[in-house]
Chains A and B, each alone.
Chain A
């Protein structure tokens, strides 16, 4: 197996303007997606965004109201062609949120079931079952009643049952949500290793951004039935296409202001924003958020990931090179230089002053609430390596390349 570079191969599954209505509301609204061979593709979004419905449409457990679903070049559901292939003829594997392990069967029976339905010979069934159980460390439990397994074992069994017949596509419906935090992390690694080893294509549904970011080759962020953005995890994180994606993934520091002027230069032209309230008189430069035009004078939000802000004690002289927060500062500094090269001149130094209001030591780092003056407060993570104290004045450098400007 192993289809080469994940995400670069042929399309295993494509959705074309798929719509599913529940009453008058569209649970899935003209969603179009393409999942390529060997990749882990994740549908991510808050509950009720339509991700599970999308998965069930792919599985054939729901009937679509418009659009077309193609699986390995074969149309499996289409309103135009009045076509619907029932779930048992789609050759998919699926792990359910509740695992759906059949309680009246043993471990062996559960895994053998799909093979029996495919007319596999007894001897081959035994061999395949023990091989797949071996993959996840369940060997030797064949005769155990499925109800006597622990949560983690049930999950592994569900995975075995879905993989044993080598389906074209593996569907995972929030499979980790019923596990405790430790086990969840462990299973995440296990699934990723197994997927890489077998080269299987996976469509994964979750509302947990950490799961999505860590497991996926590509992610589709969904909201209100619509696909907001599709891309590799890092791309979504660093270049969100909408405010929803920006706020749903990770932390964001937001400051309100008004567009002062657009600096000349083409698509990634920098915008200078004059901040509001207690920060009046200060301004920050950043790039315009993708695909959004902002006129001078328009209300705007300045957004930056907190870890992109270079933080140094205000008394340290050299900007961006405090002896303490070495790693963050270095990265920020480098980015800034890159930003310079990309012709984003900083009108001011893109620096704000702040002071630590509250400081929480959480083990591997500090969490700090930093006041920028007046009502402006932001949450930052500070490295453990330096000494921080409450009330300490800070110098906050906003590298222009890491700053994005959005309409308010």
Chain B
């Protein structure tokens, strides 16, 4: 962050131009929206006076956090869930990505799209679907197995450590790895593999000895990303963990916040712990993806697929089975759930009804929330594309002194648990007088959505920019275009498909975001994702399921659009 000091910027002969003014404006805006709330979190962790009282600082929050009886267990839970998720999903993801990218697996481009769509499914909805199947008492799988002779009781319990891991692997861990690794595998220079084949190695041997090691940086980077995402997870543990008092870091923080007397000091102290744990991961991730470590990957080769031969059918069956678990089951059962009189009770007489749909669709509250969600998601998408592309462009293509700082800051939202980020933004908007009128409006949620989507959005645009030859822009500069004209007329136009896709991803992200909005939304700007929580809190489970399914539909629509708009690389 040394680049922030103006003396360094002045040490070299450089024009004071519109470009550096613009860069500084972007840096200032991003720093204000990201660094300021994060600082608030850190400061708050040392705040010992109760809300409304004059500030006093001390370590009581930290002591309380570390004295919290469940802390040790939550820490162990967080680490084990994270570790087990990665261990289970990584080999499977590598295998699937390799099959999709480098073999003659039939229908591979459709299957890849299936994983892409599954990646967009909201975790909350997927969790509800799996409850239908694996609830210890009423779950369909369990009741079916219990109907078999010699089986007294279904063996599965979703409200367990392995239940949580199962849902996690199928929601986030596996799909995100597959959609990130498949393009990376596809772009690998085929001559490495060809040389190995010619040297006498079999397909499998080549994959294990050449492909995977050559791809190690990409795999490691995806693994780090997955670890960071797992450290943050919230919804799944909140729904499945609470019934058996299973806490991870993020749900523990949430628990500290939603008690009758919110424990802001302890909650923020825990958030700072997460932040500190994340920073080295972010650093490692940046180090891996920077510079020449990726140069083995070039896109100019016509890659001929490996012939799977007699393995073709088994491989196809395996991949389709996984796809059915990550995409088919959640969608089908989320839909079924919306027609149930009592959610999860298949065995009652005449369990089906259309009432849930008619209740929800005629609910004034629902219609307002739907409207809020659409405005919120659209606004977030537009704002995110503008801001994220500027940040990515400055970080990748300019010589602006603060570009490294900007790059690091764009990762920060990833390092703070979503609920805490929402809380920090709340403090910021209530604390800064000029921003107070925004409280309770959709603008507030849009800002939160843009910040929450920043790490992924900036990352995708950055990799798109890196694939775009710098000479296309240099040619424009030489032809007489200023920095800004080049950005508008060359970069934005050429990046249009990627930007559209980032827009869609941010749209979906905002539509299904729970963590960031949980504490930020009011009855005036409540989106669908929060409405489903409210329904659950009011024990209207069936209505919640309908809303969850609608969010899923919006997400799938977004996935389809992003794909049609041409995002093939992330």
Contacts and interface: CB of A to CB of B under 8 A. Distances in A.
B13 A63 contact: yes
A86 B477 contact: yes
Nearest to B494: A104
Given A84-B13, A86-B15, A104-B494, A165 B475 contact: no
Given A86-B482, A86-B483, A113-B476, A100 B471 contact: yes
Contacts of B482: 86, 88
B485 A117 contact: yes
A94 B478 CA distance: 7
B477 A102 contact: no
Contact of A98 (B12, B469, B476, B489): B469
A117 B494 contact: no
B479 interface: yes
Nearest to B15: A84
A148 interface: no
A96 B474 contact: yes
A161 B14 contact: no
Interface stretch (A75-83, A193-201, A336-344): A75-83
B13 A60 contact: no
A87 B485 contact: no
A91 B13 contact: no
B493 interface: yes
B14 A59 contact: no
A93 B494 contact: no
A114 B110 CA distance: 43
B481 A88 contact: yes
Contact of A100 (B17, B399, B469): B469
B14 A84 contact: yes
Q: What's the dominant secondary structure at chain B's contact region?
A: helix
B486 to A, nearest CB: 8
B490 interface: yes
Contacts of A91: 480
Interface in B331-361: none
Contacts, number: 85
B472 interface: yes
A103 B491 CA distance: 11
A161 B475 contact: yes
Nearest to A173: B471
A97 B480 contact: no
B399 A63 contact: yes
Interface in B229-261: none
Contacts of B476: 102, 113
B475 A100 contact: yes
A118 interface: yes
Nearest to B468: A103
A96 B477 contact: no
A43 B186 CA distance: 39
B245 to A, nearest CB: 56
B480 A100 contact: no
Contacts of A85: 15
Interface residues of A, number: 37
B145 to A, nearest CB: 57
B479 A98 contact: no
Most buried by B among A60, A102, A158, A161: A102
A165 B480 contact: yes
A83 B14 CA distance: 7
Nearest to A118: B480
B248 to A, nearest CB: 45
B474 A102 contact: no
B532 to A, nearest CB: 42
Interface in B360-386: none
B471 A60 contact: no
Contact of A59 (B13, B478, B496): B478
A148 to B, nearest CB: 17
Interface in B476-526: 476-483, 485-486, 489-490, 493-494, 496
Interface string B107-131: 0000000000000000000000000
Contact of B13 (A61, A79, A100): A79
A139 B112 CA distance: 44
Given A86-B17, A100-B472, A117-B485, A63 B12 contact: yes
Contact of A92 (B472, B478, B494): B478
Contacts of A88: 477-482, 485-486
B13 A97 contact: no
B477 A103 contact: no
Contacts of A114: 479-481
B474 A83 contact: no
Contacts of A79: 13
Most buried by B among A81, A97, A114, A171: A114
Nearest to A79: B13
Contacts of B15: 84-86
A59 B479 CA distance: 11
Most buried by A among B471, B477, B478, B486: B478
Nearest to A78: B13
A183 to B, nearest CB: 20
B18 to A, nearest CB: 10
A87 B12 contact: no
Contacts of A59: 474, 478
17 contacts: A61-B474, A61-B478, A79-B13, A86-B477, A87-B478, A88-B477, A91-B480, A92-B478, A93-B479, A100-B472, A102-B472, A102-B475, A102-B476, A104-B493, A113-B479, A114-B481, A162-B479
Interface of A: 59-61, 63, 77-79, 81-94, 96-98, 100, 102-104, 113-114, 117-118, 158, 161-162, 165, 171
Interface of B: 12-15, 17, 399, 469, 471-472, 474-483, 485-486, 489-490, 493-494, 496
